[in-house]
Amino acid sequence: MKKRRQFTPEEKSKIIMELIQGEKTLSEICSTYEIHSNQILRWKKQFLDNMVNAFKGADDKAHKEQQQLEAEKEALLKKIGQLTIEVDWLKKKSGLK
């Protein structure tokens, strides 16, 4: 039984870029890499569906950082409020006010 070939993401990208650039036809690419046209078209669809994610990386990272900073800010403000109440209570009990 013949073992199935595995293509790396880099190889798939190279093949799809050849198709998108239009220098070779789908048939030429299929015969060059010995891949069925349906497989290449599936890879192309997957590539086009996910190409938006290439630009999301920086935005998502910045958004997560911003959320983390806001959560930290909220926790610090809560702590400040707690400590202010404790200081006021201690001043009142010691008669310093």
Q: What is the mean pLDDT of residues 24-43?
A: 94
Note whether residue 2 is domain-resident.
Answer: no
Whether 19 contacts 44, CB under 8 Å: yes
Q: Is 77 domain-assigned?
A: yes
| 61 belongs to a structural domain | yes
Phi/psi at 83 (5° precision) = -65, -35
Domain residues for the domain of 48 are: 9-94
| Neighbour count for residue 20 (Cβ, 10 Å) | 11
Residue 55: inside a domain: yes
Domain annotation covers residue 1:
no
DSSP 8-state class, residue 1: -
Residue at 67 is within a domain: yes
Pair of tokens at residue 61? 């990272």
> 51 or 85: whose pLDDT is higher?
85
Q: How many domains does the chain have?
A: 1
Average pLDDT of span 68-81: 96
Does residue 49 fall inside a structural domain?
yes
Q: Would 87 be classed as within a structural domain?
A: yes
If you search the block for the tokens 């006010």, which residue do you land on? 97
In this model, does residue 17 exceed pLDDT 90? yes
